[in-house]
Chains A and B, each alone.
Chain A
Amino acid sequence: MGGPSVRTGLTTWRSTVGSLDPMIEVTNLTKRYGDKTAVDSLTFSVRPGIVTGFLGPNGAGKSTTMRMILGLDRPTAGTATVNGRPYAEHRAPLHEIGALLEAKSIHQGRSAFSHLWAMAATTGVPRRRVEEVIDLVGLTEVARKRAGGFSLGMGQRLGIASALLADPRVVMLDEPVNGLDPEGILWIRNLLKGLAAEGRTVFVSSHLMSEMALTAEHLIVVGRGRLIADVSVAEFTARAASNTVRVRSPQAAQLRDQLAGPDVTITSLEPGVLEITGLTTDQIGDHAAESGFTLHELFPQQASLEEAFMEMTRDAVEYHATTTTTTRAGASPGTPGDELAEAGRAA
């Protein structure tokens, strides 16, 4: 695992994880608001010891799912359990799961210290632990100031402090990197890996694939409230790789004729540049050498993770950025018209 040695400050207070595997289990979880289904029969589990990313476009039902796990919202159907029980049945709830939901789940007139101290008091967490988490998230200097004046990033840090307060076996954070600066993002990445390395269950939502690729080992991908994928990041990356080769040559036209074949697809988006599928870089290079063509570029292209993610969730994106109101007439499946229709249905 190569455990990143980040200070979480938790093990100094008490040793952590117990005998039972801490985890989140969600079974057929469904939430409907009127006739709109926010979460649609989701089933997945989140294991300890690794960071699990909860990935999906905005409006995919990630936050609603997390609220149901925490017992804030009542599922229309299905169940969500934390460490084997519905959250509300735990006697020491903050020790089971520490959560960051929306950043400002705090009274703006109260100081960060008072907020954490009041939360800590519900479960008997000592005052020195409150000071400790404040130091850990880097809010020491502003801890006695009104939280109303906090920036989004400071609000996130405060939320993370409250999540870590009672040495939780499961850490669940909703979009924790929102509003953080690059230094803060790096910090939280290491923090999450450190928490997982201590054997905790770490469940983090994001709508950014690139961020999850750097932080998570496993992914739960959702779109429109439905499960799209439950895969390891490695597998996701492998799936994302495509076998397109980009070739730039002053003799592109001739090369194109040379390479044409039954299993080969060649497109040209700009003069002198070919995008070739069906041949490896070796094959293309050899062909070019035999025919004496000059190659200025020969480059295997991998779809980026972000592209793979968008591809995967394309049909599940709730709101497309569209300014036109094209009619659907004549739109065939897969055309922008179809997406418009989807967006129209979702609206």
Chain B
Amino acid sequence: MTTAIAPDLTARPERRDLRVTTRRVFRSEWIKFWSLRSTAYTLLGAVVALVAFGLIAASVTSGGGTFEGPGEGATDPTDISLAGTQLAQLVIGTLGVLLTAGEYSTGLIRSTLAAVPRRLPVLWAKAAVFAGVVLAVGAVAVFGAFFGGQAILGSDGASLTDPGVLRAVLGTVVYLTGIGLLGMALGALLRNTAGAVTTLFASIWLLPGLMQVALPDSWNDAIGPYFPSNAGSAFMTVSPGSDLLSPGAGLAVFAGFLAVLLGAAAWQLKRRDA
């Protein structure tokens, strides 16, 4: 083997070969996403939660019983079959947190940002990979739960062509993806897995309940619908009640939360020391 001590300038390869591009960063994040075994298992867990709980809730209801557990109290056949959403969002939200906070807890972030020192492409690529995967996997699971549940409910079941049903089913896929991205943004902001998971689920589950206790009813009626989980319910429920926003408004509020948090994560990623 010869060692080139005097560089031959004419033989210098095009530097363009090694440029960092959006597509390459996306590819890198894709490799990172699938090369952790825990990621695939977690996704599988979310699918199982969605389908299994939907089928259980449908079986219990069709037997004349009342389903107790996550999603209890639903009477609409679509809502019943999607009872697993409550649990699935826990799994997907946590996965979102792990994807960003995990970079900091393991030290991987230093390698990541050394490779892509402009930084922001990493966040967008991560979000795009995750959103794409959750949309695809979530769609399979949500439709699976819906059709499975309706089959069990039989004549009491709903059809996708019924008013609001398709919107609710697709809305559930979108909601799960959004919760995943919220987790991702919180993980990037707090850089700490436990802190971000706690913050995410406190604001989804605890905060609305606490506000109900702490605030006067009139205030609570005004603020309540704007919590992320309630805004989500507005477009995931077939016929949202009067205490919820309209589906369109709910989606807008939910998207607003997402935009603000991802924006904050991006701003901080750009300026804070890694």
Taking Cβ atoms with an 8 Å cutoff, the residues of A that contact B are: 1, 3, 5, 7-8, 11-12, 14-19, 67, 70-74, 87-88, 90-95, 99, 101-102, 104-111, 114-115, 117-119, 121-125, 162, 166-167, 194, 197-199
Contacts and interface: CB of A to CB of B under 8 A. Distances in A.
Given A18-B7, A19-B12, A123 B108 contact: no
Q: Is the interface of A mostly helix, strand, loop or mixed?
A: loop
Given A105-B108, A121-B27, A12 B117 contact: no
A74 B271 contact: yes
B28 A119 contact: yes
A94 B5 contact: no
Contacts of A119: 28, 111, 115
B64 interface: no
Interface of B: 1-9, 11-13, 15, 17-21, 24-25, 27-29, 31-32, 35-38, 102-103, 106-111, 113-119, 271, 273-274
B93 to A, nearest CB: 20
Contacts of B36: 107, 109-110
A104 B109 CA distance: 11
A117 B17 contact: no
A16 B273 contact: no
B28 A90 contact: no
Contacts of A110: 32, 35-36
Contacts of B28: 118-119, 121-122
Given A16-B4, A107-B102, A121-B24, A72 B113 contact: yes
A171 to B, nearest CB: 13
Contact of B12 (A15, A70, A107, A162): A15
B31 A199 contact: no
A114 B3 CA distance: 29
8 contacts: A7-B1, A14-B13, A70-B117, A93-B20, A94-B18, A107-B103, A110-B32, A125-B18
Given A95-B15, A95-B18, A123-B20, 20 more contacts: A16-B4, A72-B114, A73-B274, A93-B20, A101-B110, A107-B32, A107-B106, A109-B36, A110-B32, A110-B35, A114-B32, A114-B35, A117-B31, A118-B31, A122-B116, A124-B17, A125-B18, A166-B18, A198-B3, A199-B5
A217 B212 CA distance: 71
A123 B115 CA distance: 8
Contacts of B24: 121-124
